[in-house]
Structures are given as structure tokens and as C-alpha cells.
Structure 1
Amino acid sequence: MRVVVMAIPYFIGRHENVQFAGSDTGRFQDRMERMIEQIKFAEDLGYYGFSMSEHHMQVEGIEGTTNPIMWDLLVAQHTKKMKVGQLGMNLTAVNPIKLAEDLAMLDQFTKGRTFAGFSRGNTPRWTNTFGQHLNITSTDSDRSEADKRNRAIFYENWRIVKELWTKKTTNVQGEFWKVPYPTEWRFQPTEKFGASAVDENNQLLEIGITPRPYQDPHPPIYAPFSQSMETVRFWAREGGKMVAFVSDEFERFIPIMLDEYQKETEKAGRVFNPDNALGLGGHLTLGRNAAESEDLEKAFRELWGFAYDAPPYHAPVGRIWGGSKQKVQDDIGRLRETYGIEEFFVWHHVGYFPQEVEMAILEEFADAVIKA
């Protein structure tokens, strides 16, 4: 079984009231040191990987996941074998060539310890700001015109990333991007070492990236999932793995999701394996005793109601792994047996609770699940 820590840095601790904590250098340095200590500890406990969401402009200090790729590199430098990745990088309001390069470099720097996660963007403040040059906005999978445009560029950008990862040079002329852009190119090294990239009139035909990924053909692909079956079918065709933090109430959608995934996988000519299709996640609030577990869950629910199940997200809290070791162990065992999966993600705070409490949470879960 594989357990990945989805680490969320918070620059405001519980019960604190601080203005613009996300802009504070001292707090960032503190959370960075806490993160290093906790993830090194997690690797020693047997955790398989590290991941982050992507958010920008969080000056309030709620989440400091500005650049997951740089956090991944930091973690990789302080661990020996832990996988590092994202859930996930925005694949709409970005330059797909730059993103393909950055992830390929991370894969090279870590010598194949990288996995890549992609999302469409659900936060209007930064998605709309980043995507203004293409008129891309955040989306709620509501089939609106904005949603259709967001999905269209998502598909095109993934095609560009995949082509750049799997081919020495490529040409993708899409609705949103021209790769390469029509350009006259006279460069003697191209004439000698890459002549197929230009035509007889010195017009650029193809481009490639340096480097391409360390893994062949590319790092494993992950995608956060809530309810969009169109997203499920797309990643089934492309070989991406869905990750869901749904609650027990919404678990009834999982068999539907797996059925749709299996159909598309087999249409693509591949053998279906549920462990390659789905990973399940939960919020980690397991304390060292019943009273601490109860207090951690109470604090987490308060935070979630304040920052997530509220505008602009309105996100339900999802599964919580707390209470007792036996309860958590039983739930993980049930999910493994029911769905045939072996990879789990734990949403874990760094900086919201005291450091020794957060490290104890990691250890309690490891005792209950990983070591067991």
C-alpha cells in the first residue's frame, strides 16, 4: 500500500488573527523548516510520496502552495526515495511549453521520483488573472460557455505537454497555441544538428524542449476528481489516475466512475486495473488519544467551513480520517477491498497546529495503517 502526504502549508496558526500572514518572510521560513522536518519524518515512517495543490496570491496565509514544483524539489533534496508531485498544476491559464519544461526538469533532478498532476482551476482570483490573455476563467464543470472554453484549452495544453515529453520535436497548431509560432529561423547549430526542424526557406517547422523527462515516456499522471465524468473519460483515454477526497455520502459515485473509466480504458486498447485508475484521499485528524482526535477534527471542520465550504468554493468537507486508529484502519481496509486500490492521499496541515502535534498525527496514521 502507498500513502502520499498532500501537505498544505498554513501561515496562520489555530486561534491566530494576523493580517497578510502569507506575505511574511519569517512565517514562510518557519513553515519551510517545519515542512522539511515533517516530510523527512514521514519518509522514515514509510510514507510513499509528497504532493501539493497549486494556489497563487494567497496573501491571507491560508495556503502557501504557490509553486508545487519548487516545493517538490525542496522535499526531494531532503528525502531519499519519496515520490514528489502535484494535485495538481493548472493546465489552462498557463504556458504549456513552460510547464512541460519545468516538470521535465523536476523529473530529471529527482531521477524519476516525480509524478505530475493536472487540474482545470477552481479559483477565480488567480485563474482569471493568469488566463486573461486567452480569456480563460475558473470553472465549476457547469457546461457553461466559460466551462467549455476552459476544457478546450485544457485538452489542447495536455496534447502540447504530452507531445513535447514524448517526441524530440513536434508541431501542434491548435486553437489557442501555435507550437511553434510562425518564425524564420537561421541558426547554424540547427542546420547541423536539427535540420528537420526547418524547411528549405528557413521557416521553423518544429520545436522541442530541453530536457525531456527522465521517465519514459513521462512521469505518471494524476488528476483531482469530484464529479465530472467527462474528466474521468478523458484521463482514462490518456492513462491518468483520478484522485478523489469524497465523503462517504458521495462514495456511491465511485463505482460509476470506475465503470466509465474501465470502458474508456478498454476502448483505448489497455487492460483496466482499478489501482491505476483511482486513488482515494482523506483529511488527517488522528490524534494520540480520543480527546485530541476530537479536538483536531473540530478545529479542522471549523477551518474548512471558514475557508473552503464557503465562497468561492462551496466544497463539502469530504472523508475525514480521525477518531481512533482502529476506525481509520477499518476504513482504509474497506476501501482497499471494495475498490481494489492501493494508493491513498492524506490531506495534512503544516503550520496550523503546533509542530509536535502535526508530527504526532503523521505517526499515529502510520502506526494505524502503514505499519499495520
Structure 2
Amino acid sequence: MRFTILVQPYMRRRGEDVKNPGADPDRYQDFLQRLKEQMIFADNNGYGGFCMTEHHMQIEGIETTVNPIMLDLFVAQHTKNLMVGQMGMALTAHNPMKLAEDLALLDQMTEGRCFYGFVRGNTPRWLNTFSQHLEISTSQSDKSEVDQKNRRLFYEAFEIIKQLWHNDTINFQDGEFWQMPPKDIPWQFPPTKKWGDESAIDANGNLHEVGLVPKPLKRPDGRAHPEIWTPFSWSMETACFAAKEEIKLASFVAKDEFIDTTIDVYTEEAAKYGRTVQPKDFIGIGGHLTMASTQAKADDHYKGFEELFNGAYNCPPYHVPMGRVWKGTGQETLDTIAKFREEKGIDNFFLWHHVGYFEQEEELEMLETFSEQVIKKL
């Protein structure tokens, strides 16, 4: 089994009323030190992974995950065993060549101790700003033209990255949004003529193919890149795409019947591509961590988390339902996870965990309680 902590960084404390705490550099340094201490603890107490979402411009101090890849490297430098990854990078906000390069560097620098994660992006403030040259907006999940354009860009960027991982060089010219390389770039570099592929330069002396340096490390099973995850809520179109591309799903949805439907859809879709899969191969169950050593503390953590969630997530523009919660002192969560493992064969679990919102000793206690009452008992 693997238990992965999905860290949400906070530069605003519980109950605090302060303007623009995200602009305070000392607060960010405090967050980094808190994160380091907590992830060292997690590494030594049975946790298997660390990851973050991607958000920018959160000047209010809410979920300040400004660069998951660099934060992955930071955590990897201070731990010995934790896998590090993203949940995930917004493919619609990045040049796919640059993102593929950054991810490959992370894999090389951590000596293979990483996983990748991709999303479509749901926050217009930063996504629309970063992607303004592409004239796209966030995922709407309503099958509108805006939503479908976002999805087309996601698919195209993923295809480019996949080709870069699997080939020395590529020529990708049929995209709606990107060409790799762009047309009509004169290229008379002698090393390319001497050591590159003959197809790297066309008959007119223009660049015809480009390649990724470095590549991710090859896996023992021959795969050209680390495992890939995507957080998943309701769209079965996303589930089918994930099954086709061998992407794993992390779901925080609290309805067991929805998990059953997702397993059926993914399994049937994978079979179309000649793959036989089990739930442990492709799905992880997530919950928000509010546990504590006593019921009174656990109840207080849940109350604080509920206030935070309704003020920062179940509100415009997201309107996200809370989903599953790992709460109490241990037994309830232990029973739930054991049931998923025994009845559905699922052995990947995620813990949505805030760093910087509660007091440091409270956040460490949440991690310790889950470790002692769930991980070590399983």
C-alpha cells in the first residue's frame, strides 16, 4: 500500500484576518520550514509519497502551490524514500516542451523517485493569464465550446509530451495550438549536421525536428517515464482518456457507487487497448486529513477544516463539494481504508493535508495519528 500526502500550503493561519499574506516573504520561509519538518516526519513514519496541486497568484495566502516541481525537489532533498510528484501540472498553462523538460529533470535529479500529474486547470485568474497567447480558459465540465477547447489543448499538449518521451526527435505540425518545431527556423548548426538525424534539417535548411534533453529515466519494466496521475471527479470522458493513456486516477469523491462506476468504465476502456487491469493498477482514494489523538481535538480540526473549505473551495468559482474526510481518532478511517483494500483491491490512498493553516504541532499530530492508527496497522 502507498499513502501519499497531497499538501496544500497556507500562508494564512486559522482565524487570522490579515491582508495579502502571500506577499510576505517571511511567511513563505516559515511555510518551507514547516513543510520540511512534516515531510521528514512522514518519510520516517510509513508514508510513501508527497505531491501538490498547481496554483499561482494566490496573494491571499490560500493554497500557495506556486511551483510543484521545484517543491518536489525541495522535499526530495530532505527525505530518503518519499516519492514526489504533482496532482497536477496544468497542461493548458505550459509550453509542453518546457514542461516535459522540467519533469524529466526532476526525475533525473531525484534518481527516479518521482511521479507525474496532469490536470486541465480550473482557476481562471492564473490559467487565463499564463495561457493568454492561446486564448483558452479553464475547464468548465459543461461540454461548452470553452470547455471543449480547454480539453483539446490538454490532449494536444499530452500528445506532444508523450512523443518527446518516446522519441529522440519529433516533428509535430498538425496541432491546433502548438507546432514543434515552428515553421521556417533557419538552422545551419554544424553539430546537428554531423551528429543529428538526417531528418533534423529539411531541404531548405530549416529546422525540421526537435528533441528533449534530458529524457526521464527508464523504468525497470521498460517504461519511458514515471507513472502519471490525474485528480478525478465526475467526467467519464476523462476516465476513458486515462484508461487509453495508462494514466492513474485519484478520486476524493465520497460516493462508493461512483468509485464502482469509475472502476467499471476504466477497466472496459483499457480492455479496448489490450490491457487487463485491476483497481490497484489505476485508482487511488483520497480524503481530507483532520484526525487527532483525541476525539475532541479531531472534532476541532474538522471544524477548522470545514470553515476553510467552505470559504476557499465550496465557493465561486469552484463550488467543489467537500468529499471524503479521514477524521476521528483512527478506527473509522482504518475501517474505511481496509474495506477499500479488501473489497475493491485498492491500495493507493491520498491525504489532503494543509501545511501552515493549523499550528505546526497540530499538523504533525494529524500525520502521527494517521501513521499510528492506520498505516502501521495495515
State the alpha-carbon separation in 1 of the partners of residues 351 and 250 from structure 2.
11
Q: Distance in 2 between matches of 1:44 and 1:69?
A: 22
Aligned to 1:326: 331
Give the TM-score of the pair, scaled to structure 2.
0.96
Equivalent in the alignment of 1:214: 217
Q: Which residue of 2 aligns with 1:12?
A: 12
What displacement does 1:292 show?
0.1
**Aligned partners of 2:171 and 2:208 also within 8 Å:** yes
Counterpart Cα distance in 2 of 1:136 and 1:126: 12
How far 1:203 sits from its partner (Å)? 2.1
CA distance in 1: counterparts of 2:335 and 2:157, whole angstroms: 41
Partner residue of 1:243?
Answer: 250
Alignment equivalent of 1:187, drawn from 178, 186, 189: 189
Once structures 1 and 2 are overlaid, which stretch shifts more, 206-215 or 64-73? 206-215
For 2:44, give the aligned amino acid. D
Structure 1 window deviating more from structure 2 (333-342 vs 60-69): it is: 333-342
Cα distance in 2 for partners of 1:143, 1:64 equals 29
- SS of the aligned residue for 2:93 comes to coil
Q: Cα RMSD over matched residues?
A: 0.9
Gaps of 5+ in 1: none
Which moves more between the two structures, 44-53 or 319-328?
Answer: 319-328
Equivalence for 2:144: 144
Match of 2:203 among 184, 200, 210: 200
User: Once the 2 structures are TM-superposed, how far is the Cα of residue 274 of structure 1 from its aligned partner?
Assistant: 1.0
Q: Distance in 1 between matches of 2:149 and 2:256?
A: 29
SS of the residue corresponding to residue 349 of structure 2 reads strand
Question: What's the CA shift for 1:251?
Answer: 2.6
Match for residue 303 of structure 1 among 305, 308, 314: 308
Question: Following the alignment from structure 1 to structure 2, what is the Cα–Cα distance between the partners of residues 224 and 268?
Answer: 22
Alpha-carbon distance in 2 for matches of 1:258, 1:195:
43
Single out whichever of 78-87 and 212-221 deviates more from structure 2. Answer: 212-221
Alignment equivalent of 1:315, drawn from 320, 324, 333: 320
Deviations 1:77-111 (A, max 9, x none): 00112100000000112211110000000000001
Q: Say which is worse superposed, 307-316 or 192-201, in terms of deviation.
A: 192-201
**Structure 1 counterpart of 2:359, from 340, 354, 357:** 354
| Aligned positions of 1:73-92 closer than 5 A | 73-92=73-92
Partner of 1:111: 111
Q: Which runs of 4+ in 1 moved over 4 A?
A: none
Percent identical residues: 52
User: C-alpha displacement at 1:368, in angstroms?
Assistant: 1.3
Match of 2:241? 234
d(CA) in 2 for partners of 1:27 and 1:63? 13
**How much does 1:172 deviate?**
1.2
Deviation string 1:124-180 (CA, Å, 9 cap, x unpaired) is: 111111121111101221000000100001000000011111111111111111111
Give runs of aligned pairs for residues 265-276 of structure 1, distance below 5 A: 265-276=270-281
Q: C-alpha separation between the residues in 1 aligned to 2:65 and 2:252?
A: 18
- 1:43 is matched by which residue type in structure 2? D
The range that moved more, 104-113 or 210-219, is 210-219
Provide the secondary structure at the position in 2 that maps to 1:5.
strand
Checking the alignment, whether the CA contact within 8 Å between 1:93 and 1:136 is kept in structure 2 is no
Given that 2:93 and 2:131 are in contact with CA atoms closer than 8 Å, whether structure 1 keeps it comes out as: yes
Q: Is the 8 A contact 1:304 1:317 kept in 2?
A: yes
3-state SS of 1:37 partner: helix
- The Cα of 1:64 is off from its aligned counterpart by 1.3
Q: Calculate the TM-score normalised by the size of structure 1.
A: 0.98
SS in 1 for 2:350: strand
Instruction: Point out the more displaced range, 100-109 or 174-183.
Output: 174-183
Query: Hey, what's the Cα distance between the residues in 2 that align with 1:295 and 1:195?
Result: 63
Distance, in Å, in 2 between the alignment partners of 1:103 and 1:111 is 12
Letter aligned with residue 242 of structure 1: L
Partner of 1:178: 179
Partner residue in 2 for 1:120: 120
Deviation at 1:200, TM superposition (A): 3.3
Deviation at 1:353, TM superposition (A): 0.9
**1:309-360 CA-partner distances (Å, limit 9, x unpaired):** 0111100001111112111100111121232110100001111111111111
